[in-house]
Amino acid sequence: MLAAGGALTADAATAARILAHAGVVRRHLDSGNYVECGHPCWSSVPWLCSQFPGGTRIVHLSRHPVPTALSWLTHQVFQRPLLPHLAERVLVSPFDSGVIFPEYRDRWATLTPFEKCLYYWAEVTAFGIAQRRRLGVPWLHLRYEDIFGGQGMATLSAFLELPSGAASGSAASTNVDRFRYAMIDWPDVQRILRQSAPADLRTSSSQPGVPRTLADQEKTAS
């Protein structure tokens, strides 16, 4: 993934592939719209906005942190590898450059895989809130729960200027999750669900100008 900034800092081979992909996107835009999606693209948002100025819209899809963290566990994130020669799958850590919550370094070794997944959720969510304020592009923050149980699809259609009913929620009842049991270490799900505050996201950030809480960031960005 790209660094959380506007510059392309990848190695030469990776940079060549990214620039080639950007060229494909430009050619596609000559005749229609293009959607870049998938969870890894979140860190690329600043760079993508710099490459396509004036024509970029961002849909920031978020979900409640507890089911999000449980879902990541089924993808073997922050868990013991299935085989000894494999590396632990670490999506982001407080030791990475530019993170918003570096104060978790002191307790990182004591956190459970579930708690580390909560940390990842906090980092990505806070990053999105900060970029909404910084980039100044059309931005829709949409909740996963509203797509599957509310007016989220209608809101998305309006934001993308699609005809009414173009974005249908008819597929919401189709189960496409193929990884729900791929865990080595099972968390105590019932204990997690009983906790009213599953993670302490109220810690102050060491970065100047970054609000103390995710809620404060959301208020500032609104």
Residues contacting residue 60 through CB under 8 Å, at least 6 positions apart: 128, 132, 139, 140, 141, 142
pLDDT of residue 192: 73
User: Taking a C-beta distance cutoff of 8 angstroms, is the pair 57, 140 a contact?
Assistant: yes
Q: Which residues contact 6 (CB under 8 A, 6 or more apart)?
A: 46, 47, 50
Give pLDDT tens digits for 13-33.
888 888 898 899 999 999 988
Range of the domain at 105: 58-134+165-221
Q: Are 6 and 50 in contact (CB under 8 A)?
A: yes
- Model confidence over 134-145: pLDDT tens digits? 999 999 999 988
- 180 is a domain residue: yes
pLDDT category of residue 44 using cuts at 50, 70 and 90: confident
pLDDT digits (tens, 9 = 90+) for 110-124: 998 999 999 999 999
Separation of alpha carbons 189 and 66, rounded Å: 10
In this structure, of 36-40, 191-195, 197-201, the range with the lowest mean pLDDT score is 197-201
103, part of any domain: yes
Q: Residue 11: inside a domain, yes or no?
A: no
Is position 207 within any domain? yes
pLDDT exceeds cutoff 70 at 54:
yes
**Domains identified in the chain, total number:** 1
Flag whether pLDDT at 216 surpasses 70: no
Angle, helices 113-135 vs 214-221, to 10°: value is 20
Residue 156, in any domain of the structure:
no
Q: What's the DSSP call for residue 141?
A: E
Structure confidence at residue 15 (pLDDT)? 80
Residue 195 forms part of a structural domain: yes
Q: How confident is the model at residue 71 (pLDDT cuts 50, 70, 90)?
A: confident
Q: Whole-angstrom Cα distance, residue 191 to residue 83?
A: 29
The answer as to whether 98 is a domain residue is: yes
Residue type, 132: R
Query: 205 in a domain, yes or no?
Result: yes
